[in-house]
Amino acid sequence: MTTSQDDLLPGTRRALLHRIAVAQAEGRAPSLVATVVRDGRAVWHGSRTSVDGHGPDENVQYRIGSITKTFTAVLVLRLRDEGVLDLGDPLEKYLPGTGAGEATIAELLAHTGGLAAESPAPWWERTPGSLRPELRDVLGEQPLLHPVGRRFHYSNPGYTVLGALVEELRGAPWEDVLRREVLEPLGLDRTSAQPRAPHAGGWAVHPWADALLPEPVEDLGRMAPAGQLWSTTGDLARFAVFLAHGDDRVLSAESVREMRTPAAPAEAADVMDGSAYGLGLQVQRRDGRLLVGHSGSLPGFLANLTISLAEDVSAVVLANCTSGPLLASVAADLVRIVAEAEPRIPAPWRPMPEVDAAVLELAGQWYWGTHGFALRLTADGGASLEPLAGSGRRSRFRANGDGTWTGLEGYYAGELLRPVRRPDGPVSHLDLGSFVFTRQPYEESVSVPGGVDPEGWRGIR
């Protein structure tokens, strides 16, 4: 992905450089590299390094750790879209005898399968994958720590199992399937399971001294689908565009939207920090901005990919140290800097290409009891229902082609909106999941559940 530095104003570019410079200096990272994407293409690249004259560019590989999980999730969603599996299927249907078979595919993707966070000792990130040649070596004697589906518990073995599922159903190694079905179609030719020059070396930085210790580079073997990959800011910038918009060669926009939708039940700590997890993607709210993406770490490396869908701005940040800069904060700040310094210019308003009179009749003010709502038609052929004032239930709706509409989000997600017409043709009311919406509060001429007092509205007597 070619980066055009002229796409941002000089002040914005300086603010971005200042942010990564502070992160590299205060986080004491041997090197740190970042790329910002806006409107589908890279618009800025920057790097800081402790070695003069050796600033890494967007083609230098770093290990990306758990961002690998997002790639594995894409492979699983492809199998679902092809009809090979259903996300509600139990693992046992495809990989019998693991001890974790009651967990569904969706629960494994969302880290709600009840599995342990790590494989049995020794620590898998710093030991050869050959120590864990089989799934039973990864899962241990008691794979489940929690009731299946009851809580979010991040699990590296869970994604090892998903990688094994991909291998079983594709009849090929996870790495080969990933390259053929995702990396090559998206042009991610600098993403690989093994490091390819030029690549950064991984370092541990002493917590109380400015001293370095090289970290070992291990092939994770069976654990590869959870964290094996190496990549670059250039490749991850392309991947960010895919996660924001989809690509029919790999996954549709609808399927990547499903990945971005929270799927795990939130715990108290998650509610407090505004975070959630979808199907292979982390979701968080920071400074009023909804962000999706994934973080990653392995000994010697840190990585983060963050996307603001509303502003179509993404940031990728990579560093070659075991601990130090908080890359999730750095990436979120890079997104914020661009979004606030150069806010997105909205597309010109244009009228709808055509108007269906029967649909236009639905637009306007409606009441559920005494709660006022506005139904608006949208340019994409859908509709939205929003409270006239304050907060309340709201949703977008998709036309079904038969005069009915299906809710896409919030309380009304999946619920059917059905216009009910009088015998002479005009719309009488809306039926939304059994709720009756009328043009006037408790309209007498409509069959309102429970009926309407025949004396009508009145004052205090």
- pLDDT, tens digit, for every residue of 172-205? 999 999 999 999 999 999 999 999 999 999 999 9
Coil, helix or strand for 448? coil
CA distance 59 to 233: 7
CA distance 61 to 69: 18
pLDDT at residue 392 in the model: 86
CA distance 117 to 428: 55
CA distance 461 to 455: 13
Type of residue at 294:
H
Q: Residue for token digits 């709210």? A: 285
CATH 2.40.128 boundaries in the chain: 357-438
pLDDT at residue 352 in the model: 84
Burial of 417 (0-12, 13-18, 19+ CB in 10 A): buried
Nearest to 238 by CA among 195, 188, 278: 188
4 pLDDT more than 60: no
Coil, helix or strand for 28? coil
Cis peptide before 198 (omega within 30 of 0): yes
2 pLDDT more than 80: no
Q: Residue for token digits 């967007």? A: 58
Q: What is the mean pLDDT of the chain?
A: 94
Are 114 and 144 in contact, with CB atoms under 8 Å apart?
A: yes
Strand spans (E) along 77-218: 203-205, 212-214
pLDDT at residue 269 in the model: 64
CA distance 287 to 308: 12
Nearest to 108 by CA among 133, 142, 72, 81: 72
Per-residue pLDDT tens digits for 304-322: 999 999 999 999 999 999 9
Are 305 and 316 in contact, with CB atoms under 8 Å apart?
A: yes
Are 232 and 58 in contact, with CB atoms under 8 Å apart?
A: yes
Are 99 and 161 in contact, with CB atoms under 8 Å apart?
A: no
pTM: 0.90
Which DSSP state fits 61? B
Residue 285 backbone phi and psi in degrees, to 5: -115, 120
CA distance 144 to 207: 35
Per-residue pLDDT tens digits for 215-247: 999 999 999 999 999 999 999 999 999 999 999
pLDDT category, 447, cuts 50, 70, 90? Answer: confident
Give me the long-range contacts of 92-99 (CB less than 8 A, separation at least 24): 94/165, 94/168, 94/169, 95/135, 95/161, 95/164, 95/165, 95/168, 98/135, 98/136, 98/139, 98/143, 98/161, 99/136, 99/139, 99/141, 99/142, 99/143, 99/144
Element (H, E) at 224: helix 224-227
Looking at the structure, give the CATH architecture of the domain made up of residues 357-438.
Beta Barrel (2.40)
Type of residue at 283:
V
356 pLDDT more than 60: yes
Q: Longest C-alpha distance within the chain, in Å?
A: 87
Which DSSP state fits 91? G
Instruction: Report the share of the chain in percent with pLDDT over 70.
Output: 97
CA distances from 121 to 128, 137, 220 (A): 12, 10, 14
CATH 3.40.710.10 boundaries in the chain: 5-83+185-341
Strand duo 371-377 + 383-387: pairing: antiparallel
* C-alpha neighbours within 13 Å on the C-beta side of residue 370: 2
pLDDT at residue 445 in the model: 86
CA distances from 92 to 88, 105, 111, 264, 330 (A): 12, 10, 17, 21, 41
Are 3 and 42 in contact, with CB atoms under 8 Å apart?
A: yes
* C-alpha neighbours within 13 Å on the C-beta side of residue 271: 4
pLDDT at residue 274 in the model: 78
The fold of the 5-83+185-341 domain, in CATH, is Beta-lactamase (3.40.710)
pLDDT at residue 50 in the model: 94
Residue 311 backbone phi and psi in degrees, to 5: -105, -5
Burial readout 343-374 (b: 16 or more C-beta within 10 A, e: otherwise): eeeeeeeeeeeeeeeebeebeeebbbeebbbe
Tokens representing residue 86 in the block: 């259903």
